[in-house]
Chains A and B, each alone.
Chain A
Amino acid sequence: MKKKYFLNANILDPHNSIEEIGGLIISEDGKIEAVGKKVNKNNIPSREKFFDLKEKHIFPGIVDMRVFVGEPGFEYKENFKTLSNAALAGGVTSAVTMPNTIPVIDNVSIVDFLKRRGRDKAKINIFPTASLTKNIEGTNMTEFGLLQKKGIIGFTDGIKTIQNTRLMSRIMKSAYDLNCLIMQHAEDYELAKNGMVNDGIISTKLGLQGISELAEKIIIERDLTLLDEFNCRYHISQLSSAKSVDLIEKRKNEVSFSCGVSINNLSLNENDIGDFRTFLKLSPPLRKEEDRLILVKGINKDLIDVIVSDHKPEDEEQKRLTFSQAATGASGIETLLPLALELFHNDSLKLNKIIKALTSNPAKILKINKGNLSVGNDADFCIVDIYKPWIVKKETLISKSKNTSIEDKKLQGKVTNTFVKGEELFKI
């Protein structure tokens, strides 16, 4: 690989506190050789070609902590190859994949298969999770230690929640012993039973069973109570309501944990469901505008650590049904960054906060050396024209499944180039 030189870029790397106009040099082996304002024309041998980025932004490659890939079992929805292409188009260079596949990622032998497929087919860094319980049944723990040795980054039942309190306490104790990361999707099943949308005026108007925000709060409250006793690495996958954020604020100083929010809950509210738009049937559900505003504030006050895409590809057939029959989830890995930039453009969040929640914060929780532009590291980064306007169209999305929650939305900001290990794998 030839050395690459980028000049006149707006470099933002929250991990190294870099926020300046400068340059970036990529070494022959795809590592970051130099970065920042000290990199200028004088550092470049006169015969070498360089790229003048004209003050476009360079961000570290995004680390998306919640991604569903259809492999194995649902290859028709998304495979590693299509996922990679979609991710690269959105500047995502590292993805944490969920274990909700067929078969479930719950034993050592399937991890070998997964890593092989990931290595051969994926162009981005894949960090697979395994399930907390065998076959995601919520009864018996998986082999945290052995799975972790095989390269599993963390443990979660993905779209499911551990309901049994005794089991949850034992999971935490094991995770403490083995220093594993536990990620919980917080939803009390009985309270959320048959629910499809936020419990409120929209559920009443549409005649759909609601999911109370208490269903989320109760699980978080329970888990934090347990965490007080059995301190392990614990992460709440997605918050959706103001009540949950309030609770987090009260407990953040007492117990150590982290939490995330989906870009959907951060950008949309229950009114967007309109006339039964099944592409907005999500879990956790979209809630009130007041909840959305509190979630944004949660990012601002560092109560919420990460923003995820909650990328859940579903084919059209699963969405062309009545609201109660339709599948849950939206495809979103390639629109994660552009949609997050909307929060910058409308003055809700500082750019630095957004990028931090998309890069260095998730990397820190996962304990991986990604999401930064440190010298000597793999050159995973994206070049972004944060002012470029565009409209989200199903047809132009790269993901194999087109179930976007923001069809026809006007966005500002597009990834123009994405590099993994110094190699340009996406170019507009």
Chain B
Amino acid sequence: MAIIVNKAVKISQKHLLGIQDLSISDVKYILSEAKQFINLNRSKNKKLDILRGKTQINLFFEPSTRTQSSFELAGKRLGADVMSMNITNSAIKKGETLIDTAMTLNAMHPDIIVVRHQDSGACNLLSQKVNCAVLNAGDGRREHPTQALLDALTIIDRKEKIEGLKIAICGDILHSRVARSNIYLLNMLGAELNIIAPTNLMPNNIEKFGVNTFSDMKKGLKGCDIVMMLRLQKERMTSSFLSSNREYYEYYGLTPNKLEHAKEDALIMHPGPMNRGIEIDTNLADDINISVIKEQVELGVAVRMACLKIFCE
């Protein structure tokens, strides 16, 4: 299949560290490139050679299934040489600092480094020390730009637009990089955002990002076209944020009953991995008529291919 190469359009950034740094034309450029890869990924021969001879290093300091495999597949489908570092066996376990690891990898002349780290801002630090492009695959609770881009692509694929849609983001906003990136991106693309969370999981001053906030889920879901559920990030919770899972499910779990408050044709999204029965009813999650969770994963590969292609140039 033919991929149109549009040399005239350029990205404004050297690295993809967060949606915050991107302009609206950057975003539209990435999304339009990604669209071209959707059909390629559905076809029989999925291999291209756009990135032949390029080296991609995946540096994941935090466990990840979908993001890491998605980036790995994306690189391979574009013909890059992909290396995934296994942190548990590496020098980082021996006390090497992030900067030293970055310098070491940099000496091997990679063209792109994909990094996930438990600390906010880790990718910014890394990007200052290497010569190649850095793609952020999630840093602490700050940003997860490719997730937001794939969410936007999924919404556009189903609803044909984002502008004017009412989108609810619900759950553990405080610890969520997905929420932050989505707030920046969907706001930029003209959606109206309802952020729903118990006050304990609502970040300070989030309303200054131009969103509506709700601690009552039913009110927050009213009239929404999209309901984006987030995972309860137990591993980032240092002290008692919630009394119990069952109480959380009672008030903030997405059930058919609560979904009725949203629009009739509302779609459900979730970045995964899901805690079934805690933040989302298991049948709802699997209902192919309203849940686009699997499509998010599918389009994730296309978005990451687009990002790799654009930032490798």
Contacts and interface: CB of A to CB of B under 8 A. Distances in A.
A30 B208 CA distance: 60
Interface stretch (B73-81, B135-143, B265-273, B301-309): B135-143
Contacts of A199: 204
Interface in A163-215: 190, 193-194, 199-201, 203-208, 210
A51 interface: no
Given A194-B238, A207-B139, A207-B142, A322 B205 contact: no
Given A201-B208, A323-B121, A206 B239 contact: no
Interface string A230-244: 000000000000000
A320 B99 contact: yes
B142 A320 contact: no
A200 B205 CA distance: 6
A28 to B, nearest CB: 55
Given A194-B238, A322-B98, A206 B120 contact: yes
B97 A320 contact: yes
Contact of B121 (A190, A194, A276, A320): A276
A207 B97 contact: no
A8 B303 CA distance: 72
A352 interface: no
B239 A322 contact: no
A321 B98 contact: yes
A204 B205 contact: yes
B153 interface: no
Interface residues of B, number: 26
A276 B121 CA distance: 6
A40 interface: no
Contacts of A190: 239
Given A193-B239, A322-B122, A207 B208 contact: no
Contact of A206 (B97, B98, B121): B121
B256 interface: no
B231 interface: no
A79 B121 CA distance: 32
B119 interface: yes
A377 interface: no
A320 B129 CA distance: 11
B206 A323 contact: no
Interface string B60-72: 0000000000000
B177 interface: yes
Contact of B119 (A193, A200, A210, A325): A325
B204 A208 contact: no
B84 interface: no
Contact of B204 (A210, A317, A323, A324): A210
Contacts of B203: 203-204
Contacts of A203: 203-204
A254 interface: no
Contacts of A208: 120-121, 140, 142
Interface string B3-38: 000000000000000001000000000000000000
B116 interface: no
Contact of A323 (B97, B120, B180, B205): B120
A207 B17 CA distance: 13
B166 interface: no
B214 to A, nearest CB: 17
Contacts of B139: 207
A198 B135 CA distance: 28
Nearest to A325: B119
Nearest to A193: B238
B127 to A, nearest CB: 10
B156 interface: no
Contacts of B124: 275-276
Nearest to A204: B203
Interface string B179-204: 01000000000000000000000011
Interface in B223-253: 238-239
A322 B119 contact: yes
Contacts of A204: 180, 203-206, 209
B302 to A, nearest CB: 26
Contacts of A324: 119-120, 140
B99 A207 contact: no
Interface string A320-346: 111111000000000000000000000
B87 interface: no
Interface string A100-134: 00000000000000000000000000000000000
Contacts of A322: 98, 117, 119-122, 125
Contacts of B119: 322-325
Contacts of A206: 120-121, 142
B46 to A, nearest CB: 35
B205 A201 contact: yes
A207 B206 CA distance: 11
B237 to A, nearest CB: 11
A321 B177 contact: no
Interface string B89-124: 000000001110000000000000000010111101
A200 B125 CA distance: 22
B204 A207 contact: no
A348 B178 CA distance: 42
A204 B117 CA distance: 18
A201 B124 CA distance: 19
Contacts of A210: 204
Given A208-B140, A208-B142, A276-B124, 15 more contacts: A201-B204, A203-B203, A204-B203, A204-B204, A204-B205, A206-B120, A206-B142, A207-B140, A207-B142, A317-B97, A320-B97, A321-B99, A322-B120, A323-B120, A324-B120
12 contacts: A199-B204, A201-B208, A207-B120, A207-B141, A207-B142, A208-B140, A276-B124, A321-B98, A321-B125, A322-B98, A324-B119, A324-B140
Interface of B: 20, 97-99, 117, 119-122, 124-125, 139-143, 177, 180, 203-206, 208-209, 238-239
